[in-house]
């Protein structure tokens, strides 16, 4: 049996809710960016937009939502397909390696994204 130790929430309901809320945030961010791009902004206008605090916060929220959405989704895929029943003991090892690698990659992207958005 697979335990939910590495899932984002305390239960499947919380994971489901995280997926939906993060999906809505990502949709809102995508619509905002598409709306801006449709105005054919110059580099100066684009740069001025991302210098505003509200857009930086919105971008940070979208970045964290993307990481959370990806983590819950990948956790579900790994626990469904990398199982001891399907692959023997190797399934548990592969699942741990895949989850650890995904976590490290997502953490790196979040830190990198924060540096880009906030100019650190």
What DSSP string runs through 33-85?
HHHHHHT---HHHHHHHHHSHHHHHHHHHHHHHHHHHHHHHHHHHHHHHS-HH
> Residue 15: its pLDDT value, please?
87
Asked, for residue 41, whether it belongs to a domain, the answer is yes
Asked, for residue 66, whether it belongs to a domain, the answer is yes
Domains in the chain, number? 1
Instruction: For the chain, list residues with pLDDT below 50.
Output: 1, 6
CATH, residue 64: 1.20.1300.10
Asked, for residue 33, whether it belongs to a domain, the answer is yes
Range 7-33 burial, b when 16+ CB lie within 10 A, else e: bbeeeeeebeebbeebeebbeebeeee
Asked, for residue 3, whether it belongs to a domain, the answer is no
> Residue 34: its pLDDT value, please?
94
Q: What is the pTM of this model?
A: 0.81
> Residue 12: its pLDDT value, please?
80
Asked, for residue 6, whether it belongs to a domain, the answer is no
């Amino acid at each position: 049996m697979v335990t939910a130790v590495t899932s984002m929430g305390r239960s499947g309901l919380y994971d489901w809710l995280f997926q939906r809320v993060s999906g809505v945030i990502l949709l809102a961010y995508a619509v905002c960016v598409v709306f801006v791009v449709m105005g054919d902004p110059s580099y100066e206008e684009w740069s001025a937009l991302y210098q505003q605090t509200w857009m930086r916060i919105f971008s940070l929220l979208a970045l964290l939502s993307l990481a959370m959405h990806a983590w819950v989704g990948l956790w579900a895929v790994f626990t469904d397909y990398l199982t001891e029943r399907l692959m023997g003991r190797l399934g548990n090892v592969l699942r741990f390696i895949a989850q650890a690698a995904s976590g490290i990659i997502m953490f790196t992207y979040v830190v990198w994204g924060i540096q880009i958005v906030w100019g650190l």
